[in-house]
Amino acid sequence: MKTILITRAPGQQLTSLLLGRVSLDFIPLIETVPSETSWQDRKLLEAIPLRRFSWVVFTSENGARWASVLLQSLSLEIPADTNIVSQGPTTAAAVKHHFGRHSFLPPHFLGEHVAEFLCSNMAPDDEALLLVAGKTRGVIRETLESKQLKISQVSVYNTQSRILTSDELSQLSFHVENSVIVCFSPSAVETLQKYFPGRLPSVRFISIGPVTSEAIRKVGGTLISEALEQTEVGVAKVIHDTFSEEC
């Protein structure tokens, strides 16, 4: 039975969908922490009524979770008539859980698809609020700005490499040599490179999507499969399909 390393905490969907088909091992490589939101960001949220924004955009499950924490700390709520857009069904489920709200869900789950949806639906006077990780100018913000649509961005969380235990490092070293490794973000790939510089060209990878795939290529890894749907179910499907002959 093929051994697969999953570089995140165990997920119920992955485990149930692949039970008995492949051997799964889980070693989370990254963790999310609340962003030390800059003074300018806090001033924006505190001084400008959230009703100014016609659209609020979430790009990840973690973004929804940490945005909820940040807004609660400021005693703020997203107005009931504000449109919410989620990038992917996992993000939409997190928005429903943390905010009790349904959201618009573009049919495809990449940033450019969310940007296209917003460009097609925002009125000229609308303004969008993007709640994301870090301060990077992503494709959504760049696209809207190129169309001269108004968008503000607030960092609500950051990702960082986990400090691995000696046992985890030993297990990870084994998997680098012997297993297929599944990565869910560029940060996971960067963490592998940090711990095992120069050893990744010999590793076979499965990726959740194009951005993570590009990070794998940059470190010289061998990409054998990429999920068509950027969700846990999509990853389970691509693992199953990739190793169906061995399952």
2, 180 contact by CB (below 8 A): yes
pLDDT along the chain (247 residues), means of 10: 87 75 90 74 76 93 91 90 91 93 86 93 95 79 94 89 94 93 93 94 92 93 91 87 69
Separation of alpha carbons 162 and 29, rounded Å: 5
> 28: how many CB neighbours lie within 10 A of its CB?
16
Query: Which residues in 169-180 are b (16+ Cβ under 10 Å) and which e?
Result: eebbeebbeebb
Measured between alpha carbons, how far apart are the two ends of the chain, in Å?
A: 7
Fold of 3-29+162-242: Rossmann fold (3.40.50)
144, 119 contact by CB (below 8 A): yes
CATH number given to 33-159: 3.40.50.10090
pTM: 0.76
56, 78 contact by CB (below 8 A): yes
Identify the DSSP state of 124.
T
- Closest residue by Cα to residue 110 from 236, 232, 228, 190: 228
Write down the domain spans for the chain. 3-29+162-242, 33-159
Give yes or no on whether 3-29+162-242 and 33-159 have one common fold: yes
- Sole residue written with tokens 């909820």: 68
Residue 38: predicted pLDDT: 60
